Chain A
Amino acid sequence: MTAILKKELRNYFNSWIGYVFLFILVGLTGIIFSLINLLNQSTAFVNVMSYFTIFMLILMPVLTMRLFAEEARQKTDQLIFTSPVTVAGIVAAKFLAALILALIGLALTFIFPLLIAPYGTLSFAPVLTAYLGYILLIAAFIAVGVFISVLTDNQIIAAVGTFVVMLVFYIMDWIASGLSSGPAASATASIIFIAALLALLAYLIYNSTKNIYAASLLPLILLAVVVALYVARPAVFDGLIVKVIRWFSIMDRFNSFNNGVINIADIVYYITFTIAFLYFSVNAIEKRRWA
C-alpha cells in the first residue's frame, strides 16, 4: 500500500499536475486575498476561504482523474491487481495520495492569514474550523473522484464526470430550496418519488440476481408499507423530497464550519460520505473483475 501511495505522490510531482495544482490554488488564493484582505484592510480571512469551494470544485477532478483511469488505459492495473495487495489497500493508497497533495495545498494557503496576523486582530478560531471543514470536504470530493476514475479508462471523462457529480452536490441546496414550496413539496409527489426509487431498487436487484420474483417482491412489500403509512399518517410525507435532498446536500452542512461551528454530526456525515464512496470504488473494482 505504501508503495502505491509513494508512486502516486511521486507521479504528481514528476508530471505537471502537482505543481500546477499548487500554483493555481495558492495563486488564486493570493489574488482573492489581495482583493478582500489587503485592499480592504480586512482581517476576515474566512471570507477568502469561502472561495476555496469553487477552487476545489475545479481542481479536485484534476487530481483524481488519472488515479484509476490511467492504470486501466495503460493496462498497468494488471500489475497492481495481480500483486499481493488488497483492492481496499490500493483504493486507500490512491485516495491518500490525492488527499496529501490537497492538504499540502491547503497548508500553503495558511501562509496568508499568518501574513496579516501581526498587523491586526485576526481571530484564528473560525479560520481553523473552516480549515477543518475544507479538509473534510476535500476528502469527500476526492472519494467521489476516485470512484468516478474507477468507472472509466478515460481521464477526461473521469474529470468531467467528477466535476458534474460534485456540481450536483454543490447546487443541491438550491434545488432543495427551489422545491420546498409548490407541487414538489406535496405528499403525493413524495409518494411518486418513493415509487420511482423503489422501481430503481427493483431494477438493481433484477440486474444482480436475474430473479424476477426477488426483484419485484421486496420493492412491492416496501411500497405497501409506504402506502399504508400514507393512509395512516400522511403528514410524514410532506416535503419529503426536500428533506432527502437536504440530507444529501454536502454544502448545507459545510456552512457551519465556515461560521466557526464544529458539529460532530457534520464531521460524521463527511467521514461517512467519504468512506461510502471509497467503499463503492472497491466494490466497483471487484464487480468488474467478477463480471
Chain B
Amino acid sequence: MIEVKNLTKRYGQHCAVDNISFTAEDGEIVGFLGPNGAGKTTTMNIVTGYISATEGDVIINGADILAEPEKAKRDIGYLPDMPPVYGEMRVDEYLRFVAEIKKVKAGQRTQMIEDIKESVKIADISSRLIKNLSKGYRQRVGLAQAMMGYPKAIIMDEPTVGLDPKQIIEMRDLVKKLGKKHTIILSSHILSEVSAVCDRVMIISKGKIIASDTPEKLSSGLTHGHQMAVRVKGEASKILSAIEEFPLIKTAKEDGSHEPGAIDLIMTGEEDVDIREAIFACMAKNNYPILSMKSLDLSLEEIFLQITSGEGSRES
C-alpha cells in the first residue's frame, strides 16, 4: 500500500507538486492522467525516493521513504520515463546486476530472472547488448528491472510511450496481469490508455489532483451525449431542414459525405442535454435511416477544460 500525504515540491518559486494526497491499495492499478508538466513525473520521482519532497510524507507499506529509505525502497520497483538501462551491458548481465542491487537472495536470482524474462518476453534477446535493442525491447528490459525482486508496488512513468500498437496492447495486458499481485501506479497523457487498464484515475493539473474516480465514472460524468456524430441516408438540405423542427438539436454541421447517398452530420445540443432520442425521433419521423450514430469522445484536452473550468480556472 502506498500512502501519500500532503506532498509538495517547490523549485524556487515554481510549485511542481502542490499538496497532493492519495492512497493506492494493494492490488490496485492507479493511473495518473495529465498533460506534460502537470507534475506526474515529479510525484513519481518523490514516491520512489529518487528526489525528496519539500513537504509531505510518502509511506510504503508502513515505511516512510525518508525515515527508512532502504526498507521502503525494497517494496518499490520503478520504471522511469527513460528505462534506466546500461547500453554497454548485455540483457542477462543487466538483470543480474539489478537482482543484486535490489537484494534478491543469491539462491533465487537465476530463477527469478528467468521467470521475469519469460513474462515480459525478452528471453530470446538475453545475450544482446542493450544499446542495440529497439525502444520497445528496451522498455521491456526496463519493466523487467522494475519487477525484479517482485516488489509490492510498481511505479511506471508513461510505460507505453514510443511503443508500436502491438507492443502497447502487450504492455497493457502485462500491466493488468501485474496489477493482480502488485500495487501499480502508472502515468499517461492518453485517456484511452488509462481507462483501459486502471481501476482508478487521478487527473493531475498544475501539481494538483483535480479529479479522482474510476475511469467509467470519470468519462460518463463528462460525456453527456450532447455531441453526436451521425450518418444519415438522404439529401443534405432536406435533413437539415427537418432538424430545424427539433429545437433540442441546437446545431447541425455537415461533415462531408463518406458513403454514397448519405451525409455525415455533427449535432450538438445544450450542455447536459441528451440529444440522442431527439435525433432518432427527427429521423424516424421523416423516414431518414440512421446508418450510424456515436457520441463524440471527449479528448483529454476537453475533459481537462471541463474539469478545470468547473474549478473556476480556464487557463489550462
- Which positions in A face B, CB cutoff 8 Å? 2-4, 6-7, 10-11, 14-15, 74-86, 289-291
Contacts and interface: CB of A to CB of B under 8 A. Distances in A.
A186 B98 CA distance: 59
B50 A83 contact: no
B50 A81 contact: yes
A290 B85 CA distance: 24
Contact of A74 (B51, B87, B102, B103): B87
Nearest to A83: B101
Contact of A289 (B11, B51, B71): B51
A257 to B, nearest CB: 37
11 contacts: A2-B100, A3-B97, A74-B87, A75-B84, A78-B82, A81-B49, A83-B73, A84-B69, A84-B71, A84-B102, A291-B11
B205 to A, nearest CB: 24
A227 to B, nearest CB: 37
Contacts of B52: 289-290
Given A75-B84, A78-B48, A80-B101, 12 more contacts: A3-B100, A7-B97, A10-B93, A76-B85, A76-B86, A78-B45, A78-B50, A78-B82, A78-B84, A82-B78, A84-B71, A291-B11
Nearest to B72: A84
Name, among B52, B78, B101, B145, the residue most crowded by chain A CB atoms within 10 Å (CB to CB): B101
Given A78-B50, A289-B50, A4 B84 contact: no
B88 A83 contact: no
B48 A82 contact: yes
B118 interface: no
B101 A85 contact: yes
B84 A84 contact: no
B84 A76 contact: yes
A75 B87 CA distance: 11
Contact of A82 (B11, B73, B86, B97): B73
Contacts of A289: 50-52
B76 interface: yes
A7 to B, nearest CB: 5
B70 interface: yes
A291 B45 CA distance: 13
A84 B73 contact: yes
Contacts of A14: 88-89
B87 A6 contact: no
Contacts of A81: 49-50
B45 to A, nearest CB: 8
B42 to A, nearest CB: 12
Interface in B91-127: 93, 97-98, 100-103
B50 A82 contact: yes
Contacts of A2: 100
B233 interface: no
Contact of B70 (A74, A75, A84): A84
A10 B97 CA distance: 11
B101 A79 contact: yes
B100 A75 contact: no
A84 B86 contact: no
B147 to A, nearest CB: 13
A58 B76 CA distance: 41
B225 interface: no
B74 interface: yes
Given A83-B101, A84-B70, A11 B88 contact: yes
4 closest cross-chain pairs (CB), A and B: A3-B100, A79-B84, A3-B101, A76-B84
A84 B103 contact: yes
A15 B84 CA distance: 19
Nearest to B47: A82
B242 to A, nearest CB: 60
A25 B292 CA distance: 78
Contacts of A84: 69-71, 73-74, 102-103
A85 B70 CA distance: 6
A82 B49 contact: yes
A9 to B, nearest CB: 12
A128 B277 CA distance: 96
A290 B51 CA distance: 6
B31 interface: no
B163 to A, nearest CB: 18
Contacts of B78: 78-79, 82
